[in-house]
């Protein structure tokens, strides 16, 4: 069970996750995004009532990409690319942890890596800085809001890695449940504390609450789909690989004993 074998399976699992996420994002995400863009266009039309052209404006003065392209080719390319890269990263981390987590098989440790990754990379940062639809937040604050978000992602990932290391260290002296509980508590203390220090997500203005809820719910469902499909597929592939390698090792041992 080499890092290469993990990587190949991670890329395949990520590709599958990207395809499934594209379908989910198309069905659940795009309608809520279209509704948010409609709100933005209505506000733009009101602001430009003095005679300027109204409509949905993209950031910058570059070539405008149609919504049809965005929600088809653009969305599919993005989800597949992100899923494939994410699958490779998760697979390599899982390969590095094989045999280092007490009592867990390679498949189980891979599933744990995917679960921790979802919580640290997607869920916790989303709870602090949830997805923001168009027309929410000023263009002049995009840079600072993006910086705060990625800073919080970094803090969450580092804290999660430290929590796993702490659980491993405590595992030699405490029961597995106790070590895990202390590690989770330490992680929560860090992310909650840092989240309290970082600026809030910002004002929503007069954006409709129901449209905002639909947009954020769809965004979270899309994130969860990506990580769930990736985790399940990669865990299954690694589990099958481990079983195959174990059977091969048994056959070799049997042949050597004859």
How does pLDDT run across 22-36, given as a tens digit for each residue? 999 999 878 877 777
Q: Is residue 154 part of a domain?
A: no
Tell me the CA distances in angstroms from 200 to 128, 141, 144, 149, 189, one per residue in order. 8, 12, 11, 10, 18
The answer to whether 20 touches 232, Cβ cutoff 8 Å, is no
Q: pLDDT band at residue 138, thresholds of 50, 70 and 90?
A: low
Q: Is residue 226 part of a domain?
A: yes
Identify the three-state secondary structure at position 206: coil
Task: Say if residue 44's pLDDT is above 70.
Answer: no
Q: Is residue 255 part of a domain?
A: yes
Q: Is residue 121 part of a domain?
A: no
Q: How do residues 69-82 score in pLDDT, each as one tens digit?
A: 777 788 889 999 99
Q: How far apart are CA 10 and CA 212, in angstroms?
A: 34
Q: Is residue 176 part of a domain?
A: no
Q: How far apart are CA 227 and CA 159, in angstroms?
A: 19
pLDDT for 185 equals 96
The model's pTM: 0.83
Domain count, the chain: 1
Q: Which domain holds residue 71?
A: 1-57+66-102+207-258
The answer to whether 14 touches 84, Cβ cutoff 8 Å, is yes
Q: Is residue 179 part of a domain?
A: no
Query: Which of left, alpha, beta for 135 (phi over 0: left; psi -120 to 50: alpha)?
Result: left
pLDDT for 134 equals 67
Q: Is residue 165 part of a domain?
A: no
Q: How far apart are CA 8 and CA 193, in angstroms?
A: 38
Mean pLDDT over residues 86-110, rounded? Answer: 88
């Amino acid at each position: 069970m080499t890092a290469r074998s993990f990587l190949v399976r991670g890329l395949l699992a990520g590709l599958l996750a990207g395809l499934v996420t594209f379908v989910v994002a198309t069905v659940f995400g795009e309608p809520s995004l279209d509704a948010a863009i409609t709100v933005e266009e209505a506000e733009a039309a009101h602001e430009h009532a003095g005679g300027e052209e109204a409509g949905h404006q993209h950031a910058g003065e570059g070539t405008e990409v149609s919504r049809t392209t965005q929600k088809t080719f653009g969305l599919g390319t993005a989800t597949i690319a992100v899923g494939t890269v994410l699958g490779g990263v998760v697979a390599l981390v899982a390969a590095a942890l094989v045999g280092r987590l007490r009592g867990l098989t390679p498949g189980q440790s891979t599933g744990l890596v995917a679960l921790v990754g979802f919580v640290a990379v997607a869920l916790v940062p989303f709870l602090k800085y949830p997805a923001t639809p168009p027309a929410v937040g000023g263009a002049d604050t995009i840079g600072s809001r993006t910086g705060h978000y990625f800073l919080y992602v970094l803090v969450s990932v580092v804290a999660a890695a430290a929590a796993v290391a702490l659980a491993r260290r405590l595992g030699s002296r405490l029961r597995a449940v106790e070590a895990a509980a202390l590690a989770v508590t330490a992680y929560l203390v860090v992310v909650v504390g840092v989240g309290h220090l970082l600026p809030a997500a910002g004002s929503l203005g007069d954006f409709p609450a129901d449209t905002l809820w639909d947009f954020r719910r769809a965004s979270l469902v899309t994130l969860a789909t990506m990580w769930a499909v990736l985790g399940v597929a990669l865990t299954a592939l690694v589990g099958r690989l481990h079983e195959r390698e174990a059977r091969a090792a048994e056959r070799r041992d049997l042949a050597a004993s004859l």
